[in-house]
Amino acid sequence: MLGFYLKRLAAGLMMLIALSIMVFVLLRLAPGDPIDAYLNPLAPLSQVEMDALRQRLGLDQPWPVQYLAWLRAALGGDLGYSIDRAGVRVLPLLMERTGPTLLLMLTGLAMAIVLGIAAGVVGAVKRNSAIDVGLGVLAFLVISTPAFLKALLGLYVFAVVLRWAPSGGMLTPGAPFSLTDLLAHLTLPASLLALVYSALFMRYMRSSMIEVLNQDYLRTARAKGVGEFAVIVRHALRNAILPVITLIGSTIGIAIGGAIFIESVFDWPGMGLLMVKAVETRDYPVIMGATLLIGVGVILVNLLTDLAYAVVDPRIQVS
């Protein structure tokens, strides 16, 4: 097992390097000159001053040299300084925004896992019933609706029309911190983030559960007098949940994209909102640093998914 995880970790590191190269090249291929992000339009510089600034920033060097310089500094924990926020280091800025994003994502995914698995089990047990059909139609509608549209509709209905939740932010400005205030701001964006993933988990769980419910060992358990609830929860659920674990692990990366929409609509002070503003201001160091940090998170989640497989089903062996 240790050898397997070391191999996966090495592969993850190679993927991180490939990802950083791709983002670096795409940023350089974007329209405009990277030096424009460093200039103040109200205080134009002469060509000599621009050339001196380009040389000081290393932008006069070939792309491979620029990338290797960034990679060497990144390996040492230095992601540079933000362009949009003068004098602010990128790494502390990302760490400051990671907490709110993790809070939003983990809350949304936890809600999605509980709702999705429960709805999938109910749909499989009540197969082809009105409940199963209703859940299937609801899941189809949720999955087919774009993330930004769900966010805007949720904001309008629950925050503007019904006034059940705040319209944005993480805390009420000027008010002392309280857990109640935090939960009031968190509930709506986390619920909207959970919608699409709970529908995905439900469909996978239902399909897997139907397959498991037809297995011979469950008929044997029932014949021995085991109650139906124990048959479903103790025997069927543990085997049916394995494909869903894989889906949960692969969903983390997708959830980051969903969080970007949610954070932008609700002005949630997390990584997604930071990346949107970094793209608008061409803040290259923040974009590169955020991409690297997100990549590390996705790789760690995939490793934890493999570990969860072995915990849920001890029969699984890694050769």
| Cβ contacts of 302-311, under 8 Å, gap ≥ 24 | 302/8, 302/12, 302/249, 302/250, 303/5, 303/8, 303/9, 303/12, 304/249, 305/245, 305/246, 305/248, 305/249, 305/250, 306/4, 306/5, 306/8, 308/245, 308/249, 309/242, 309/245, 309/246, 310/1
Please name every residue paired with 285 in a beta bridge, in sequence order, or none if there are none. none
Instruction: Give the CATH number of domain 91-312; options: 1.10.10.10, 1.10.3720.10, 3.40.50.720, 3.30.70.260.
Output: 1.10.3720.10
**8 Å CB contact between 98 and 293:** yes
Please tell me the pTM assigned to this model. 0.81
Task: Report the half-sphere exposure of 118 (CA within 13 A, side-chain side).
Answer: 6
Rounded to whole angstroms, how far apart are CA atoms 11 and 16? Answer: 9
DSSP classification of residue 81: B
State how far Cα 181 lies from the chain centre: 24
Highest mean predicted confidence (pLDDT) among 28-32, 118-122, 292-296: 118-122
CB atoms within 10 A of CB 241: 23
DSSP classification of residue 30: S
pLDDT of residue 257 exceeding 60? yes
Percent of the chain whose pLDDT exceeds 90: 8
The whole-number average pLDDT for the span 102-124 is: 90
Confidence bin at 130 (pLDDT 50/70/90):
very high
Per residue in 145-178, pLDDT tens? Answer: 877 788 888 888 998 888 888 888 888 888 888 8
The whole-number average pLDDT for the span 242-255 is: 76
| Residue 221 vs residues 226, 229, 231, 242, 250: alpha-carbon distances, Å | 6, 11, 7, 21, 33
Per residue in 69-80, pLDDT tens? Answer: 888 888 888 888
Confidence bin at 7 (pLDDT 50/70/90):
confident
Confidence bin at 54 (pLDDT 50/70/90):
confident
DSSP classification of residue 89: B
List the domain boundaries for the chain.
Answer: 19-75, 91-312
